[in-house]
Amino acid sequence: MSFTGTVELPLHTGGVPRWLLARMRKLAKAILAVIVEERGPEEVLRRLSDPLWFQAFSCALGFDWNSSGVTTVTCGVLKAALEDGALGVKLAGGKGARSLRALEEVEAIGEAYGLSLARVEEVKKASRLTAKVDNAAVQDGYSLYHHCVLLSERGNWMVVQQGMNLDDKTARRYHWLSMELRSFVDEPHTGIAGDLVRPAVLDMTARESERCRKACVDIVLEGPLKVRRLLFEARSKLRGPLDAWMGYGRSAEPLIIYRFAPDSLNWEVMKRAYEVKPRSYEELLEVRGLGPAGVRALALIADLVYGEAPSWRDPIKFSFAFGGKDGVPRPVDRELMDRVIKHLEEILGAAELERKEKLSALARLKGLVVRVK
């Protein structure tokens, strides 16, 4: 995964004027109708799973380019525009309480499109797992408050969800696409858009966390009593407080603090996980009640007792590269921009020189060709 940049998503209040909202719905439907006519419903899923296309789509509809409402309003507009199902794709879920209705709405959409019960259950599982992953397996300081599932008549799906960080009043948007998904717990996102790159993020979905994920599953299978002993053992290996484990020794920058102690963990959940006997980290995440604290506790043990460290690299993929002209989200870093320009010019210059050398070599070869009668 490579870092591309950030998209600013500050938390904004306020609403959309009715005159604009009505036009946004009509325009959204017209744009999507063209896409469906040319490429089919699955192309709508692909486009919206791209954070930058999603952002541009919102701008085309006339909404703020740099607001957390890009996600919530655009998805609300999409839900209304696709309500009749005529384009072969419909949206379930939404912001706040509406996100809790996503599963029953998925069932209704599946019934409307004549999808099998098995396929509908797969989509409902995807809805639950994507939310669990972005709330618990990726611990970046953002709590989900918006969750939408876009479902096609063929049973393919796209998830877009958003979390907020009340401390710095920013949001972060997560995109998923079924057609490109190989695993829910191994580099699963098509993109994550946000404002800030965090100095330390516990990312259990990173490829670097694979051995840590396996260790967490093995630890759960030891039973809750053994897990408790291992957790105290892990704590004894820290030179600082347990709160400082996030990014411990990896960054001098201020970290998000995650507070938990062994006695505050829900040991009933650990007992339930032991009884479930998960065969994979995905199955472990599916255990009812297993949340961020449980994920952290198991990762702590895997790291400090068994030496299987998780990834602490922020998985964000899209952001501003150099800043913005108005100082938003930060002033333009002119020195960095100049360095990148110089680097790109050097690459282009080398490529041009290589092209000229090849042409020169071809010219020399041409002169050596002997015509045979």
pLDDT in tens, 37-89: 999 999 999 999 999 899 888 878 765 545 557 888 899 999 999 999 999 99
**pTM of this prediction exceeds 0.85:** no
What percent of the chain shows pLDDT beyond 90? 56
Amino acid sitting at position 230: L
Q: Tell me what pLDDT residue 134 has.
A: 97
pLDDT given at position 357 = 75
pLDDT of residue 237: 77
Lowest mean pLDDT among 95-104, 203-212, 348-357: 348-357
Report the C-alpha gap between 185 and 111 in whole angstroms.
29
Q: DSSP letters along 305-370, please?
A: TT--PPB-S----BB-SS-BTTSSSSB--HHHHHHHHHHHHHHHHHHHHHHHHHHHHHHHHHHH--
Banded pLDDT at 335 (limits 50, 70, 90): confident
Nearest to 320 by CA among 309, 310, 335, 330: 330
Most confident listed range (23-27, 115-119, 365-369)? 115-119
